[in-house]
Structure 1
Amino acid sequence: MKNIQREDIQILSRYSDLTEKEVAEILEKHIYTDKSSWQKFLQLFLMTLGIGFTVSGIIFFFAYNWADLPKFAKIGLTEGLVIAATALTFLPKINPNIRKIILTGAAVLVGVLFAVFGQIYQTGANAYDFFLAWTIFITLWVIISDFAPLWLIYIILINTTFVLYTQQVGNDQGPIYVFTILFLLNGMILVSGILISMYKKAVIPSWFTNVLSLAVASFATCGIVIGIFDNQTSALAILAVPVVVVYALGILYALKVKNIFYLAVIPLSIVIIITVLIFRITGENVASFLFVSLFILGSITLVIKNLLNLQKKWKNEK
């Protein structure tokens, strides 16, 4: 009985001659979380919490004692912490998950080190240089660790570097082009993650792809909304074409793998875009506000109804 679900047990208990005791034993063995699972969860949770508070404490330590610390102490302490955290990951008996959590903390400390160095010597570099260096110097750790939270931090750093670059250096480009590149960049990362999980049989957490898909939908929505309000037809067309393609593929993929999250995020983005388009066409008056209110109410109700029907259908298929 591999990969047995709660719904399967409910069907068995309803249409078979299993006793209540036997059903309870099956639930205890295959569904309920046992003591060892809780211990593993608490160990990882407390370890993550401890490292997070430690890194936060280090940052606040430097912020509070900045004026009283000499330059050597500032850089020396930060470098020592990075080296110590990295050295802990080489301990042979350490749990692999704990090793990855410690490496994630060391990756954050690399950013602290660059921030301390920049404040001491006032390098005059742009903010994107700081995030770019931080991204480059933890790239090898990210690839080796194969740890979803560290990958998420890495993707956030890439996006932050690009946004700051466009604001400080490449400010000739409009916001629609920025959102277009962010949409394409994160979309490629999301598609790559999905393809790797499908064909390479790699375990990619669902929360990771959900966060990425939410970011992709947000970039698409913001870019199209700005294009509609600013009436930038050419730039809007460049973004709208890949958005339509990605949204269509996303809906097909969600129906194939029976993923409710994508089927909720994509329609929500479409509803927001249509709402803004209605305001752009009709103008902001009482009639348009009434029409938009009715449209939002009806569309959201329709989406929820269809999602509930799909969820019920998929459960019955099991």
Structure 2
Amino acid sequence: MNHIKREDIHRLAPHSSLTAADASRALRTFVYPNTKAWQKFLRIFFLILGVGFSILGVIFFFAYNWADLHKFAKIGIIEALVCGITLLAINPKFSTQTKNILLTGSSLLVGALFSIFGQIYQTGANAYDFFLAWTLFVTIWVIIARFAPLSLFYLVLVNSTLILYEQQVTTGWPPSLFYTILFLLNGSVAMAAIFLQQTKRTMNVPIYFTNTVSLAAVAFATRGAIAGIFSNDYIYLSLIGVIIIVLYSTGMLYAIRRKDGFYVAILSFSLVVIVSALWVHLIEDVVLYLFVSAFIIMSVTFIINNLLKFQKAKHHGTEE
């Protein structure tokens, strides 16, 4: 009975003798947070707040006292902090949640360590080198922790490394090819997260993680398609077009089957943007841009209207 969700109560209410008072009582018992849940939330919230402000304090400390500190003192202080927080994270007295938050803070300090090292010795490294080293040296913690916020931060590092590498090294890559790579990377992570979320065999993947990664994948796909359209790069445009058709169709079928309005929304709006960009590229007459504007207005209205119907059908007409 502890796994009853809001959707379960909404679906049960119209098809049973459950009264409004009973439904409200069930929501308070199984869905709404109680005192213990609020205490846990506040404990985690203030721990995150404390770790975050501590890291900001370290950064501002070095920025303010940079000229007065010896280079070995700068590196020694930040290394001691990284080692100290990491040792705290393996303390068996702390809960798993606390350990993961401490590891996340230590991962952030690794970036500060590399930035201080590069500033002292003026390594002249490209920006992608910095993010690449940061990514490599926190990989083991990401694997061990299996903590969704840390994994999300790690994915940001990987994307930042690839984007900066493309801007500084492989400047001749077609934009549509590069965005296809980013789309496939983030899309693969999103599909793996959804699979783990459905099976729940190895780890619990929160919804915000899959939604965030899926949104990033769709954004890269949209940007790649637009880049291919306006650059007349038909080879790579065809490549990303086929990938978009296959994966978007699969994602839409999954969203409809699972009654997940989020995926229906992001995929639909992405298609509207891509089709609008195609029309803008093909139409050279300024007057015909009114057609594109009308298409966008009607498409967005149609999507929102159907999303509302989709949401009502999901809850079988019940109200929260």
CA distance in 2, matches of 1:196, 1:23: 31
The letter of the residue matching 1:166 is E
Aligned to 1:294: 294
Check whether the contact 1:13–1:23 (CA below 8 A) recurs between aligned residues.
Answer: no
Check whether the contact 2:283–2:289 (CA below 8 A) recurs between aligned residues.
Answer: no
Check whether the contact 1:82–1:109 (CA below 8 A) recurs between aligned residues.
Answer: yes
CA distance in 1, matches of 2:31, 2:73: 53
Aligned to 1:64: 64
| Pair 1:244 & 2:248 matched | no
Structure 1 length as normaliser, TM-score? 0.93
Check whether the contact 1:12–1:18 (CA below 8 A) recurs between aligned residues.
Answer: yes
Deviations 1:184-236 (A, max 9, x none): 11111111111222235331111101111110111011111111111111121
Q: Identify if the C-alpha distance between structure 1 residues 53 and 166 changes in structure 2 by more than 3 Å, giving closer, same or farther.
A: same
| Pair 1:118 & 2:146 matched | no
Q: How do 1:33-182 residues align onto structure 2 when only pairs under 5 Å count?
A: 33-182=33-182
Q: Identify if the C-alpha distance between structure 1 residues 154 and 27 changes in structure 2 by more than 3 Å, giving closer, same or farther.
A: closer
Q: Tell me how far 1:6 sits from its aligned partner.
A: 4.6
Runs of 4+ off more than 2 Å: 1-20, 22-28, 196-202
Aligned to 1:235: 236
Check whether the contact 1:82–1:106 (CA below 8 A) recurs between aligned residues.
Answer: yes
Could you say which structure has the greater relative contact order, defined with CA pairs below 8 angstroms and 6 or more residues apart? 2
Q: Secondary structure at the match of 1:49?
A: helix
Q: Tell me how far 1:12 sits from its aligned partner.
A: 4.7
Deviations 1:223-268 (A, max 9, x none): 1111111111112112111111111111011112211100000010
Aligned-residue CA RMSD in angstroms?
2.1
Q: Tell me how far 1:305 sits from its aligned partner.
A: 1.3
Aligned to 1:30: 30
Question: Which stretch of the first structure deviates more once superposed, 150-159 or 165-174?
Answer: 165-174
Check whether the contact 2:79–2:113 (CA below 8 A) recurs between aligned residues.
Answer: yes
Equivalenced residues, count: 316
Question: Which stretch of the first structure deviates more once superposed, 5-14 or 255-264?
Answer: 5-14
Unaligned 5+ runs, structure 1 = none
Q: Identify if the C-alpha distance between structure 1 residues 17 and 267 changes in structure 2 by more than 3 Å, giving closer, same or farther.
A: closer
Q: Percent identity?
A: 47
